[in-house]
Amino acid sequence: MFQKMLINGELVGEDTKKTTIGIVNPSTEKTFARVPKGTKNHINKAVAAAKRAFPAWSQRPISERQAMVEKMADVVSNNAEMLARLLSKEQGKPMPEAMGEMGWTEGYLRHYASLQPSGRMIQNDDEFKIEVRRVPLGVVAGICPWNFPVLVPFWKIGPALVAGNTIVIKPAPTTPLTILKILELCNSFVPAGVINVVCDENDLGPMLTNHPDVAKVSFTGSSETGKKIMASAAGTVKRVTLELGGNDPAIVLPDVNVKETAAQIYGGAFLNAGQVCLAVKRVYAHAEIYDEFCNELATLAREAIVGDGLQQGSSIGPVQNKEQFKKVKALIKSADKDGTIMTGGVVKGKKGYFIKPIIVRDVKDGDDIVDKEQFGPILPVIRFKDIKKVGKKANASDYGLGASVWSGDVSKATKIASGIESGSVWVNQHINIGPHIPMAGFKTSGLGVEQSGEGLDEYTQIQVLNVAK
């Protein structure tokens, strides 16, 4: 399979070994497709095309821009199974999760198509008409990760287009196929230059973030890369939205139903093989229920069916790529040294980056497995006794993306939750997100807002129109 890039409404790229990137199926470790290897020339052409398309696109009535985004949702819906199979092959996630990503993508696009940038009238009397307007920025660069390679690009494309911007998308090098395919299908009705996609080997990002004709960078990925993007964007004072890493705590009080809560936390930890920025990354379980809770989690982990995402019955797919597989294996060694691995580990004797879900107990704050973001199928459980102090433990992190508090007493849990330094804090649930709910991060977990009307406004500039009558 060879899937071309999209620049200025044209499919671009030559299928030769020197000019392409091989896409590996993480379940087999075999290359099954190729995409063009983008160059600086491709970046310049894509940005130039987006810049040329911007005046006409931004002047279109918002109803037409909304209708275009709605049509993109139709494309995803009408081709969901074919796209999900392609997604499963390149990303590794089981088909139910791949179909779920298609459903989420469609839903998010339809919601964006219903939004309008905010604005307000400050004064309108005999002397002045003073209006706060939200105007589009220009060319947006969307730099995307490999864990949700369809949903995240459309988190950027949807609001960017509705607000009146044009966009250049750079997908992750290991997962570009499905987004390229969708945008190829949309190319018949999206005006040339409004959406462009350039593939790379993680070498062209700085050119986008430095480019003088890029007005905004929207990045989803690691905190370390986010810091570099902020520095790179400073030269031209670009607008920046960063949705970065997390080390999301779940605090479990002693009055919970252990079996039910363990099942919910397990689901919140091991979705997409744990490769979710908002996934539960560390559990603080009260000493009164600690042993029982660890045992329930371990039982669920042992029951998981790890396998090829296209294999019926698989509940957990492989880690997405070789580099991440190495990082998770290093954390497994650290966890084995610092704590007790109750179950799980690297699946041996077969191809693929497979790891059986791992539950680690008897670990503490300060251990690598607790302090670092795993981004893989491994979950540490920390014992605590003092309910008044557990919030401080949860906050003792450079991250602040998501968190949850679990208790039979909702008022008690809500009081603890209100003190957690995190952009999203849930009570008796985890990863309850949606296109109408803002997503933001504290500390090194991000800057700005994604989703909702607040997220749409991030793709605009405030302009005050002040008219003397």
| pLDDT at position 125 | 95
Q: Is 199 a catalytic residue?
A: no
DSSP letter (8 states) at residue 453 = H
| pLDDT at position 213 | 98
What are φ and ψ of residue 283, in 5° steps?
-115, 130
- Asked if 331 and 372 touch (Cβ cutoff 8 Å), the reply is yes
- Asked if 238 and 218 touch (Cβ cutoff 8 Å), the reply is no
| pLDDT at position 15 | 87
What pLDDT tens digit does each residue of the chain (469 aa) get?
999 999 999 999 988 888 999 999 999 999 999 999 999 999 999 999 999 999 999 999 999 999 999 999 999 999 999 999 999 999 999 999 999 999 999 999 999 999 999 999 999 999 999 999 999 999 999 999 999 999 999 999 999 999 999 999 999 999 999 999 999 999 999 999 999 999 999 999 999 999 999 999 999 999 999 999 999 999 999 999 999 999 999 999 999 999 999 999 999 999 999 999 999 999 999 999 999 999 999 999 999 999 999 999 999 999 999 999 999 999 999 999 999 999 999 999 889 999 999 999 999 999 999 999 999 999 999 999 999 999 999 999 999 999 999 999 999 999 999 999 999 999 999 999 999 999 999 999 999 999 999 999 999 999 999 999 9
| pLDDT at position 16 | 85
| pLDDT at position 17 | 80
- Asked if 444 and 399 touch (Cβ cutoff 8 Å), the reply is yes
DSSP letter (8 states) at residue 433 = -
Rounded Cα distance, 12 and 25, in Å: 23
| pLDDT at position 48 | 98
Torsion of CA 224, 309, 402, 137, to 10 degrees: 60
User: Within 13 Å and on the Cβ side, how many CA atoms surround 75?
Assistant: 22
| pLDDT at position 18 | 87
Amino acid in the structure at residue 24: V
What pairing do the DSSP bridges indicate for beta strands 139-143 and 439-440?
Answer: unpaired
Catalytic site residue from 243, 296, 450, 458? 243
At 469, is the secondary structure helix, strand, or coil?
Answer: coil
Rounded Cα distance, 118 and 343, in Å: 51
Q: Is 277 a catalytic residue?
A: yes
3-state DSSP of 284-342: EEECCCHHHHHHHHHHHHHHCCECCCCCCCCCECCCCCHHHHHHHHHHHHHHHHHCEEE
| pLDDT at position 23 | 98
Amino acid in the structure at residue 450: E
Structure tokens at 379: 């979950």
| pLDDT at position 196 | 98
Give pTM, 2 decimals: 0.95
Burial of 96 (0-12, 13-18, 19+ CB in 10 A): middle
Amino acid in the structure at residue 172: A
Catalytic site residue from 144, 199, 277, 294? 277
Q: Across the strands, what pairs with 20?
A: 36
Structure tokens at 430: 């985890």
What pairing do the DSSP bridges indicate for beta strands 5-7 and 139-143?
Answer: unpaired
Count of C-beta atoms within a 10 Å radius of residue 189:
12
Q: Which domains does the chain have, with CATH numbers?
A: 5-244+444-468 (3.40.605.10), 248-436 (3.40.309.10)
Helix (H) / strand (E) containing 415? helix 410-417
- Asked if 383 and 292 touch (Cβ cutoff 8 Å), the reply is no
